[in-house]
Amino acid sequence: MRCVILLGPPGAGKGTQAEMLSEEECLEHISSGAIFRENLKNQTELGKLAATYINNGELVPDDVTIAMVRDRLSAITSESGFLLDGFPRTRTQAEALKDVLQEFDENLRVVAIYIKVPSQELISRLTGRLTCRAEGHIFHTKYNPPKIEGRCDHDGSELYQRDDDKPETVKKRIQVYLEQTIPVIDYYQNQALLVEVDGNQSVEEVSAAIRSALKV
């Protein structure tokens, strides 16, 4: 069984790569951001609590996020394993994840893939991102436009711009990433679990680089 952790700044391409990789490798795709957005849509208590943080570009508190992901991990059914997209984002979350993973098979193979993209590129990626209402499929107005304007290629549902993809919030999220998530990259580097991939190339090239990193 395998646990693949995708790390990188907002806009690095984690969700895009996770969509493809989870399908190819039969890994369950666990996106903390997507779970929060689903809760928001359904107006659950968790969704209401998370909303203010998400809309301000801040991280949802660790205790809430860790409990949510712990819950999701207890429901894993794929024997191939799972792919974490957007979690962990703080050192505390990374330490909590380590504890949870200890409850899995002792043969669980953990690898953290750091998709590195320069900050100036992130703004245009995020402000042009289009997200599908039904399933969260990801597009971009210029870099990955849908076949039919405003409609998801996969399920035909409406594409929308996330509130937190507006320029003011994007800047805040990048700043939060630099302050709180860079330490997570160091954390995996120190445990020799980190592989760095150049995210500043085409979606296909990034995907090939990730696949070759996973083979070693």
Tell me which residues are annotated as active site: 14, 89, 129, 162, 173
Binding mask 82-101 for ligand ADP (x = CB under 6 A): ----xx-x---x--------
Residue with tokens 């997507």, as numbered in its chain: 34
Structure tokens at 2: 């395998």
User: Parallel, antiparallel, or unpaired for β 194-198 and 138-140?
Assistant: unpaired
Length of the chain: 216
- Rounded CA separation 110/51 (Å): 31
Peptide bond into 9 cis (omega under 30): no
Distance CA 34, CA 131 (A): 11
Q: Which of 72, 111, 143, 171 binds ligand ADP (CB under 6 A)?
A: 143
Binding part of the chain for ligand ADP, among 6-14, 70-78, 96-104, 147-155 by CB under 6 A, reads 6-14
Among the listed residues 5, 27, 33, 81, the single contact to ligand ADP using CB under 6 A: 33
CA distances from 69 to 56, 74, 116, 156 (A): 21, 9, 24, 29
User: According to CB under 6 A, which residues from 100 to 129 bind ligand ADP?
Assistant: 125, 128-129
**Strands 129-132 and 138-140, bridge-based pairing:** antiparallel
Question: Which tokens hold the place of 180?
Answer: 């709180």
User: Rounded distance, CA 82 to CA 73, Å?
Assistant: 9
**Contact with ligand ADP (CB under 6 A) among 3, 46, 54, 210:** 54
Site string for ligand ADP, 171-200 (x = CB under 6 A): --x---------------------------
Q: Which of 144, 157, 161, 189 binds ligand ADP (CB under 6 A)?
A: 144
Sole window of 50-58, 102-110, 150-158, 182-190 interacting with ligand ADP (rule: CB under 6 A): 50-58
Binding stretches for ligand ADP (CB under 6 A) = 8, 10-16, 32-33, 36, 53-54, 57-60, 65, 86-87, 89, 93, 125, 128-129, 138-140, 143-144, 164, 173, 202-203, 206
